Amino acid sequence: MGRYRPVIGLEIHVQLSTRTKLFCSCSADVFESEPNTHICPVCTGQPGALPVTNEEAVEYAVKAAYALNFEVHEYSRFDRKNYFYPDLPKGYQITQYFHPIATKGYLEIDVDGKKKKIRLRRLHIEEDAGKMIHEGDSMNAKSFVDFNRAGVPLVEIVTEPDIESPKEARLFLEKLRSIVRYIGVSSGDMEKGALRCDANISVIDEKTGRSSNRVEVKNMNSFKFVERALEYEFERISKAMESGEEVPQETRGWVTRDKKTISMRSKEEESDYRYFPEPDIPPVILSKEKLEEIRKSLPELPDEKKERFMKDYNLPEYDASVLTADRDLADLYEMTVKLTGRPKETSNWFMTELLRMMNEEGMEVGDLRVKPEHFKELFELIDSGRITKNMAKEVFREVFRTGKNPSDVVKEKGLEVVTDESEIERILKEAMEKNPKAVEQYKNGKKGIMGFFIGQVMRATSGKADPKIVQRIFKKLMGE
């Protein structure tokens, strides 16, 4: 490492996939809905409308908190965070400021084979704001507001500044997403705004021990962009420090098109928000029994599953972590191994062919047409020598696309290995007749010529002959 070292802390908003919003019965599934079709007097802040806390949202928040090793509190409460913005109909956001539902958690990430704990300061429940839509150019600008998202439940998770590189920030977010998806509290989809991250970065000059001001970066809607934006900021701040410039404390936005960040505003002070306790909503009280019940309902989490995969299936750590990053993928793998009985080979097929094709097609496990039985059949076709490993890849691609049985694909495409020795012999004889010189050369000791004849057979069979058989027959014909 050089003279400068980044210090990074993240604030993450995770949208909870509850049926309804946080304080009213409007549907919370608002992504891409017609604007202002999921609204009511409560979530648009009409006078006299009374919020009622969604118990499912509280339960989801508790689940997330336990999965992230938080201390969950029996008592928490909502507060009002006051500010003006057109997408905030009430003029305040309901959040948990003074008494968050959970504090002091941690998340362990894997950095180049080393485990590292990132401390989590707090997790609290809050409502989302609406959304502004801007149209037209500066001469003819129009702005609209869509309140569908107003009141959708979120948890905000705040880390301690324990993250030491942009890459660690990405790894942290990937792990966090994996966990919220495992426990089923959020889709974790960054592109759809279900997981949003503000990144704080400051830089320490190791030589002088001085630290820069802290910069907050917003507007990043993919893990890659978080990493890139932080790399960009680290370089920008380090350079400024090197030339003795002051780095102002400010909020900056990532502009994907230009691959850079731009200044948005100087940081607002905490007191600007004039927080005070929300008078219309009773505190959230959770009994020890209730908390215990929720904690026990958690499924096996990615780290535990990974350990178990390494132990039960004797997989390398790398395989185990790839296969367990997504719960559905892990389930599919386990079902497949039950049928094939071959953990490592199954893993190889998953990690190469299956995941590659899923990436290419942008598919998730839920969209797959290929089934565990298909792998079993594919392995049997290879074992019996009916197809080669290379052909199996082609068969697999077709099974992946169509969901047909591998043996049917083999038949339809005529992919079977040519094991018919008389056919191979016929092709070889023909090739020898046509190339007497080559035969002569072989007999005079130029053994490499055999490759030429094998090539002829491969061409005639479109690569479906078994080279070992061809070699044996060739030698027989040559009288060896």
Residues touching Zn ion: how many (CB under 5 A)? 5
Helix (H, G, I), strand (E, B) or coil at 270: helix
Contact of residue 417 among ligand ADP, Zn ion, none (CB under 5-8 Å per partner type): none
SS3 content of the chain, % helix, strand, coil (to 5): 40, 20, 35
Contacting ligand ADP (CB under 6 A), which of 17, 20, 103, 202? 202
* Rounded-to-integer distance, Cα 4 and Cα 393, Å: 48
DSSP category for residue 364: -
Token couple for 106: 């941690």
Q: Which of 179, 186, 169 is nearest to 223 (CA)?
A: 169
**Residue with tokens 């305040």, as numbered in its chain:** 92
124 binds ligand ADP (CB under 6 A): no
Least spacing, CB of residue 13 vs ligand ADP, in Å:
12
Q: Which of 151, 166, 180 is nearest to 61 (CA)?
A: 180
Contacting Zn ion (CB under 5 A), which of 5, 13, 31, 40? 40
Candidates 158-166, 273-281, 338-346, 350-358; binding stretch for ligand ADP (CB under 6 A): 158-166
Contacting ligand ADP (CB under 6 A), which of 137, 246, 270, 360? 270
Least spacing, CB of residue 187 vs ligand ADP, in Å:
23
Q: Are strands 79-82 and 276-277 parallel, antiparallel or unpaired?
A: antiparallel
251 binds ligand ADP (CB under 6 A): no
- Start-to-end CA span in the chain (Å): 65
Least spacing, CB of residue 262 vs ligand ADP, in Å:
19
Contacting ligand ADP (CB under 6 A), which of 7, 355, 365, 458? 7
Contact of residue 200 among Zn ion, ligand ADP, none (CB under 5-8 Å per partner type): ligand ADP
**Residue with tokens 């400068």, as numbered in its chain:** 4
Least spacing, CB of residue 250 vs ligand ADP, in Å:
12
Contact of residue 11 among Zn ion, ligand ADP, none (CB under 5-8 Å per partner type): ligand ADP
Please say whether the beta carbons of 288 and 74 come within 8 A: yes
Least spacing, CB of residue 201 vs ligand ADP, in Å:
5
Contact of residue 307 among Zn ion, ligand ADP, none (CB under 5-8 Å per partner type): none
Contact map string, positions 161 to 190, toward ligand ADP, x by CB under 6 A = x-----------------------------
Candidates 52-60, 109-117, 197-205, 463-471; binding stretch for ligand ADP (CB under 6 A): 197-205
Q: Are strands 215-220 and 250-255 parallel, antiparallel or unpaired?
A: parallel
Please say whether the beta carbons of 155 and 14 come within 8 A: yes
Contacting Zn ion (CB under 5 A), which of 10, 26, 428, 454? 26
- The sign of the CA dihedral 242, 243, 246, 247 is negative
Residue 231 CB burial class (10 angstroms; 0-12, 13-18, ≥19): middle
Question: Which amino acid is present at 295?
Answer: R
246 binds ligand ADP (CB under 6 A): no
264 binds ligand ADP (CB under 6 A): no
24 binds Zn ion (CB under 5 A): yes
387 binds Zn ion (CB under 5 A): no
Least spacing, CB of residue 92 vs Zn ion, in Å:
16
- Contacts with ligand ADP by CB under 6 A lie at 7-11, 158-161, 200-202, 214, 270
